[in-house]
Amino acid sequence: MVLVIIDHADGKIKKSSLEAATYAAELAAQTGTTAEALIAGTISEDASLLGLQGIKKVHTLSDVSLNNLDAQVHTAVISEAVEKTGATIVVFSNNSYGKSVAPRLSAKLKAGLVAGATALPDTSNGFVVRKSVFSGKAFANVGILSAKKIISLNPNAFHIADGGQKAELVPFAASVPQPKVTVTGTEKVTGEVSLSEAEIVVSGGRGLKGPENWYLVTDLAHALGAATACSRPVADSDWRPHHEHVGQTGLAIAPNLYIAIGISGAIQHLAGVNRSKTIVVINKDPEAPFFKAADYGIVGDAFEVVPKITEAVKKLKGIS
């Protein structure tokens, strides 16, 4: 059986977990078994709707203490779920949750782990998983030989199915260890598209010359329904908050469309965005390194080009 671990926030299942659920269901079909899910914590959504992604059964452990991530606690709970359900393959999303818990679970279960999977395994001769390596610049095919196997799927690397029937909900009882981490407060960014979940991202760099010109990024992002991001120098200069910094030392993202405005494209920045399906670069320097990685490039002054693109998008979408 394939068990997918569902990540959620603010009572809602994350998009990356819907991708992981679809991946788990298709992997189960490929290996002649069934796919089930585990939700540790409380959600406000109807968990049975995971059946639309092909999940047959959802194990729910509605313990509010699990809404905060303590990796050791979640590892213990998931380990117990794996043993009780008889799962032989566990699927995570390769987001911050998966990166925190999957390696610990691998050690506890003595299970082989492939982090950053981009496709279904090749089971024609063993169990070989394709994953991205070297910050997305190459791929590796990794075989898992252990009886139990763990895969974490890169966000935006797989589609979301929407054709199944509602899943069966089964309350799951587990001994939840006392958390060693106490959350005393949270500060959340509201009213914005989540950068890690966004399908479209508009990003700006030092080419915008100052924070007073950031409207070029936000106007285009609002027109597209996109999230906003920035390069490290922009965050270091306090033009933008650090949670918007994408790159090797910031957040790694993989949207369907990444638009870079006034960013030269140093290797550290590329490492965080080169898994984007389509990259559009706008820069007045024709020698900017980013053009080598771009699918589409516009050589021009951002102060002239971007307002015209924003206006065209608004016209196309009927936005005044």
Q: Name the residue with higher pLDDT: 105 or 137.
A: 105
Q: What is the pLDDT of residues 19-39, one digit of tens each?
A: 999 999 999 999 999 999 999
How many whole angstroms separate alpha carbon 152 and alpha carbon 92?
Answer: 4
Residue 88's Cβ-count burial label (10 Å; 0-12, 13-18, 19+) is middle
Confidence of residue 320 (pLDDT cuts 50, 70, 90): confident
Confidence of residue 12 (pLDDT cuts 50, 70, 90): very high
Contact between 121 and 27 under an 8 Å Cβ cutoff? The reply is yes
Mean pLDDT of the chain: 94
How many whole angstroms separate alpha carbon 51 and alpha carbon 22?
Answer: 9
Q: What angle do CA 6, 9, 14 make, to 5 degrees?
A: 50
The candidate with the shortest Cα–Cα distance to 304, out of 275, 262, 269, 251, is 262
**Three-class secondary structure of residue 261 per DSSP:** strand
Write the CB contacts of 264 (distance below 8 Å, at least 6 apart in sequence). 205, 207, 283, 285, 288, 289, 290
**Residues linked to residue 39 through DSSP beta bridges, in sequence order:** 60
Instruction: Give the pLDDT score at 84.
Output: 96
Q: Which domains does the chain have, with CATH numbers?
A: 2-171 (3.40.50.620), 200-317 (3.40.50.1220)
Instruction: Give the pLDDT score at 123.
Output: 95
Radius of gyration of the chain (CA): 21
